[in-house]
Amino acid sequence: SAVISQKPSRDICQRGTSLTIQCQVDSQVTMMFWYRQQPGQSLTLIATANQGSEATYESGFVIDKFPISRPNLTFSTLTVSNMSPEDSSIYLCSVEEGGGAADIQYFGAGTRLSVL
Amino acid sequence: QKEVEQNSGPLSVPEGAIASLNCTYSDRVSQSFFWYRQYSGKSPELIMSIYSNGDKEDGRFTAQLNKASQYVSLLIRDSQPSDSATYLCAVNRSAYKLSFGAGTTVTVRA
């Protein structure tokens, strides 16, 4: 499977600030996703990062709060904007491998964000 | 109704026993099903994928799928302390997206 590097691995931020999380893959992949995992919860999909076009956001998530870039097939960023303590979560990027109906997703190590 | 539901935990089993994890899903057209293991403080790692009705075995893990009943399960045989983790059931929906269950935490007692 692809090697996925995510950084920063953790951060502590002040409310009202923004944090950009980077996700780098060692091979070209078509599908990249961003998830949020709140404390003690399962994974919730934030958006699909589309190469060369605007990301596709899930219900409850908006571009102004979570702008995403995908400049090429190996890299994506997620920004958490104007943060509040409710944004304290683990943020994970994933890539889809296998193509077709396989839908197998592999995850980066995650970014543990605490907002004070 | 949640898209993916897992049996509530935590599940505690003695070492060497079988751990049985269950998952039901609501979207009848789903075709791909996955089990991820997540250790505390780590990201999810894929342990099993299954696409056809029946059983699929990989080492000590067996996944079972019944599309008619919209049910998928994971058996862990000869459970080891290293199997102590949260197990997430994931089901595909549209456009390669996955829906995850809430997870079942398994503790294997030595």
Query: Which pairs count as long-range contacts for B90-94, CB under 8 Å and 24+ apart, including other chains?
Result: B90/A105, B90/B4, B90/B33, B90/B34, B90/B35, B90/B36, B91/B3, B91/B4, B91/B23, B91/B25, B91/B27, B91/B30, B91/B32, B91/B33, B91/B34, B92/A101, B92/A103, B92/B30, B92/B31, B92/B32, B92/B33, B93/B3, B93/B27, B93/B30
Mark which residues 8-37 of B lie under 8 Å from A by CB. Answer: 31-32, 34
Closest CB from B46, B97, B102 relative to A106: B46
pLDDT digits (tens, 9 = 90+) for A42-84: 899 999 998 888 899 999 999 999 999 999 999 999 999 999 9
* DSSP for A24-77, written as a single string: EESS--S-EEEEEE-TT--EEEEEEE-TTS--EEPTT--TTTS-EEEEETTEEE
Contact in structure between A69 and A77 (CB atoms under 8 Å): yes
Task: Point out which residues pair with B105 in neighbouring strands.
Answer: B86
CB contact under 8 A, A43 and B88: yes
Average pLDDT, chain B: 93
Contact in structure between A37 and A31 (CB atoms under 8 Å): no
- Distance in Å, alpha carbon of B20 to nearest chain A alpha carbon: 19
A116 has a pLDDT exceeding 90: yes
Mark which residues 41-70 of B lie under 8 Å from A by CB. Answer: 42-46, 49, 51
A100 has a pLDDT exceeding 60: no
pLDDT confidence bin for A8, thresholds 50/70/90: very high
Which of B43, B47, B94 should we substitute to test contact with A (largest number of A Cβ atoms within 10 Å)?
B43
Residues in chain B predicted with pLDDT less than 50, given as ranges, are none
Residue A48 in contact with partner chain B when CB distance is under 8 A = yes
Closest CB from B98, B100, B102 relative to A103: B98
B13 alpha-carbon distance from chain centroid: 16
Q: What is the pLDDT of residue A30?
A: 87
Q: Pairing state of beta strands A56-57 and A43-49?
A: antiparallel
pLDDT digits (tens, 9 = 90+) for A22-46: 999 999 998 899 999 998 888 999 9
A101 has a pLDDT exceeding 80: no
Chain A environment of B92 (Cβ under 8 Å): 101, 103
Residues 6+ apart with CB under 8 A from B5: B23, B24, B25, B101, B102
Query: Six-digit token pair at A61?
Result: 């998530």
